[in-house]
Amino acid sequence: MKLVFEIARGDFTAAGKASSGIKKVLKQLLVDPKTIKRIVVAVYEAEVNVVAHSVGGTLTANISGNEITVVVQDYGPGISDIEQAMKVGFSTASRKVREMGFGAGMGLPNIKKNTDELTIQSQPGKGTMLVFSISI
Amino acid sequence: MQTVEKYHAIKVDIDKCMGCTHCMKACPTEAIRVARGVANINANRCVDCGNCLRVCPVDAFYVEEDSLEQLSKYKYKVLLFPAVFIGQFPESYSESSIYEAVLSLGFTHVLEVEQPIHLLIEIIKEQVLQAKNKPLISSFCPAIVRLIQSKYPSLVDNIIRMKAPHDLGAYYAIDLLSKEGIGREEIGIFYASPCSAKMAAVERPLGEEVSVVDGLINMYELYNKVRKVIKKAKKRDSVALRKGLRRDGIVWSLPRGEACHFKGRSMAVDGIHNVVKILERMENNEVPELDFLELRSCDQGCAGGILLTGNRFLTVERLQKRSKRYLIAESSDDHCFNCPAIKEKLKSGPIQPGYVYALDTNRKLALEKLQKVDRILCQLPGIDCGACGAPNCHALAEDMVQGKAKITDCVFLQNRYLNEEKIDLAKATRNLENTWGTNRFDADCNRKGGRNEGF
Ligand SMILES: Nc1ncnc2c1ncn2[C@@H]1O[C@H](COP(=O)(O)OP(=O)(O)O)[C@@H](O)[C@H]1O
Ligand code: SF4
Ligand SMILES: [Mg+2]
The mean pLDDT value of chain A amounts to 93
- C-beta B138 within 6 A of ligand 2: no
Which atom of ligand 1 is found nearest the CA of A87? 17
Residues of A in contact with B280 (CB under 8 A): 20
Q: Is residue B153 within 8 angstroms of chain A, CB to CB? A: yes
Beta bridge partners of A127: A123
| CB neighbours of residue B440 within 10 Å | 15
Exposed / middle / buried, residue B74 (Cβ in 10 Å: 0-12, 13-18, 19+): middle
Domain ranges in chain A are 2-135
Instruction: Determine the average pLDDT of the residues in B116-121.
Output: 93
pLDDT at residue B2, rounded to an integer: 38
**Of B50-64, B279-293, B370-384, B419-433, which gets the smallest average pLDDT?**
B279-293
Query: A93 alpha carbon to ligand 1 midpoint, in Å?
Result: 7
A contacts of B365 (beta carbons < 8 Å): none
* Residue B19 CA to its chain's centroid (Å): 23
Distance of CA B311 to the CA centre of its chain: 18
* ipTM of the complex, rounded to two decimals: 0.85
Nearest residue on chain A to B366, judged by CA atoms?
A29
Percentage of residues of chain B with pLDDT beyond 90: 75
Question: What's the rounded mean pLDDT across residues B196-224?
Answer: 87
For residue B321, the number of C-alpha atoms closer than 13 Å in the C-beta half-sphere is: 13
Report, as an integer, the average pLDDT of B258-269.
88
Cis peptide leading into residue B57 (ω within 30°)? no
B128: pLDDT strictly greater than 50: yes
Mutation target among B133, B283, B394 for the A interface, most CBs of A within 10 A: B283
B305 CA from centroid of ligand 2 (Å): 5
Euclidean distance between CA atoms B320 and B317, whole angstroms: 5
Three-state secondary structure readout of B216-228: EEEHHHHHHHHHH
Would the CB atoms of A19 and B358 count as touching at under 8 Å?
no
Length of chain B: 455
Ligand nearest to the backbone CA of A130: 1
Is a pLDDT exceeding 70 seen at residue B192? yes
- Find the helix packing angle between B142-151 and B196-203, rounded to 10°: 80
Residue B30 — very low, low, confident or very high, per pLDDT cuts 50/70/90? very high
CB A104, CB A91: distance < 8 Å: yes
Q: Is the CB of A104 under 6 A from ligand 1?
A: yes
CB neighbours (10 Å) of residue B94?
11
| Residue range A96-110: mean pLDDT, rounded | 88
Percent of chain B having pLDDT more than 70?
96
> What's the pLDDT score for residue B239?
85
Whole-angstrom Cα distance, residue B191 to residue B213?
7
Q: How far is the CA of B374 from the centre of ligand 1 (A)?
A: 34
The answer, yes or no, to whether any atom of ligand 1 lies below 6 A from the CB of A54, is: yes
pLDDT of B1 > 70? The answer is no
CA of A113 to the centre of ligand 2 (A): 39
Outline where DSSP puts E strands in B162-283: 187-193, 215-218, 266-270
CA–centroid distance, residue A92 to ligand 1 (Å):
7
pLDDT band at B453 (very low <50, low <70, confident <90, very high): low
User: Which residues on B lie below 8 Å from A1 (Cβ)?
Assistant: 367, 370-371, 374
The chain A residue lying nearest B282, using CA atoms, is: A37
- Give, as one character, the DSSP assignment of residue B379: H
Structure confidence by residue, pLDDT tens digits, A55-73: 999 999 999 989 999 999 9
Please tell me the predicted confidence (pLDDT) of residue B382.
96
Q: Which ligand has the minimum distance to the alpha carbon of residue B295?
A: 2
CA distance B6 to B45: 9
Query: So what's the pLDDT on residue B208?
Result: 54
Task: Compute the distance between CA of residue B46 and CA of residue B150 in angstroms, rounded to an integer.
Answer: 10
Bridge partner list, B79: B110, B190
Out of A48-57, B6-15, B243-252, B385-394, least confident range: B6-15
pLDDT of B443 reads: 87
Average pLDDT, chain B: 91
Identify each DSSP E strand in B42-128 by its residue range.
Answer: 61-63, 76-81, 109-112
> What letter would DSSP give residue A116?
S
Q: Give B62: exposed, middle or buried? Use CB within 10 Å, 0-12, 13-18, 19+.
A: middle
pLDDT band at B98 (very low <50, low <70, confident <90, very high): very high
Higher pLDDT, B52 or B454: B52
Give the helix ranges, DSSP H, for B27-109: 51-55, 84-87, 95-103
State yes or no: pLDDT of B3 exceeds 50. no
- Chain A residues near residue B1 by CB distance under 8 angstroms: 30
> What is residue B161's three-state secondary structure?
coil
- Residue B269, pLDDT above cutoff 50: yes
Do B363 and A65 count as a contact with CB atoms less than 8 A apart? yes
Mean pLDDT (whole number) for B47-60: 94
A106-133 burial, b if ≥16 CB within 10 A, otherwise e?
A: ebbbbbbebbeebebebeeeebbbbbbb
Over residues B144-189, the pLDDT tens digits come to: 999 999 999 889 999 999 999 999 999 999 999 998 999 999 999 9
A19, A37, A66: residue with CB nearest B154: A37
| Closest ligand 2 atom number to CA of residue B144 | 6
Distances, alpha carbon B395 to alpha carbons A22, B386, B389, B392, in Å:
17, 10, 10, 5
CB atoms within 10 A of CB B123: 20
At residue B272, the 3 state secondary structure works out as helix
**Taking CB atoms and an 8 Å limit, are A33 and B154 in contact across chains?**
yes
B313-322: average pLDDT? 96
Neighbours of B97 (CB within 10 A): 17
C-beta atoms of A63 and B353 within 8 A: no
Sign of CA dihedral B325, B330, B334, B338: positive
* Interface mutation target, options A1, A24, A106, chain B, most CBs of B under 10 Å: A1
pLDDT per position as a tens digit, B398-435: 999 999 999 999 999 999 999 999 999 999 999 999 99
- Is B29 a residue whose pLDDT tops 60? yes
Q: Is the CB of A26 under 6 A from ligand 1?
A: no
The pair phi, psi for residue B438, each rounded to 5°, is: -75, 150
pLDDT category at B64 given cuts 50, 70, 90 is confident
pLDDT band, very low/low/confident/very high, at A99 (cuts 50, 70, 90):
confident
Q: Vertex B357, ends B61 and B153: CA angle to 5°?
A: 100
- Does residue B371 sit at the A interface (CB-CB below 8 Å)? yes
Nearest to A44 by CA among A26, A22, A63, A27: A22
Indicate whether residue A52 lines ligand 1 (CB < 6 A): yes
Residue of B154, B368, B369 to mutate for A, most A C-beta atoms under 10 A = B154
The closest CB to that of B280, out of A20, A34, A41, belongs to: A20
pLDDT of B307 > 70? The answer is yes
| Contact between B203 and B291 (Cβ < 8 Å) | no
Domains of chain B: 10-63 (3.30.70.20), 68-122+151-258+300-345 (3.40.50), 363-423 (1.10.15.40)
Contact A41 B284 (CB under 8 A): yes
Determine, for residues A33 and B353 on separate chains, whether the beta-carbon distance falls below 8 Å. yes
With H, G, I as helix, E, B as strand and everything else as coil, classify residue A130. Answer: strand
Lowest average pLDDT, out of B262-266, B315-319, B390-394, B415-419, goes to B262-266
Q: Are B135 and B158 in contact (CB under 8 A)?
A: yes
Neighbours of ion ligand 3 (CB under 5 A): A 49, 107
Q: Which of B229-233, B369-373, B384-388, B450-454 has the lowest mean pLDDT?
A: B450-454
Fold of domain A2-135: Heat Shock Protein 90 (3.30.565)
Average the pLDDT over A84-102 and give the result: 89
Distance from A65 to chain B by nearest Cα, in Å?
6
On the question of pLDDT at B317 being above 70, the answer is yes
* Cβ–ligand 1 contact at A74 (below 6 Å): yes
